Amino acid sequence: MPAKPVFELYRDSASEWRWRLVATNGNIIADSGEGYSSKQGAKRGIESVKRSVPEAEIREE
């Protein structure tokens, strides 16, 4: 298992690029939710999440 959370970049069964964030215990804690046509697009998705997380608020329902 990784020593810290890690983003995994991979191709799915439809040959689209996706990412997932894997916690240190091996659990997937987030994923792209959509496939990207290019690897670069998936990488931009990862960077967007990395930039946005510190500002994310918590909403309780």
Q: Which two tokens stand for residue 39?
A: 């690897």
- Per-residue pLDDT at 1: 62
Residue 53 — φ and ψ, nearest 5°? -60, -45
Q: What is the pLDDT of residue 54?
A: 77
Predicted pLDDT at 58? 83
Report the CATH architecture of 6-52: 2-Layer Sandwich (3.30)
Higher pLDDT pick, 10 / 57: 10
- What residue ranges do the domains of the chain occupy? 6-52
Residue 9 and residue 19 in contact, taking contact as beta carbons nearer than 8 Å: yes
Task: Give the pLDDT score at 2.
Answer: 65
- Contact 22/40 with Cβ under 8 angstroms? no
At 18-61, the pLDDT tens digits run: 999 999 999 999 999 999 999 999 999 999 999 988 788 888 98
User: Residues near 27 by Cβ (< 8 Å), separated by ≥ 6?
Assistant: none
Residue 59, pLDDT score: 84
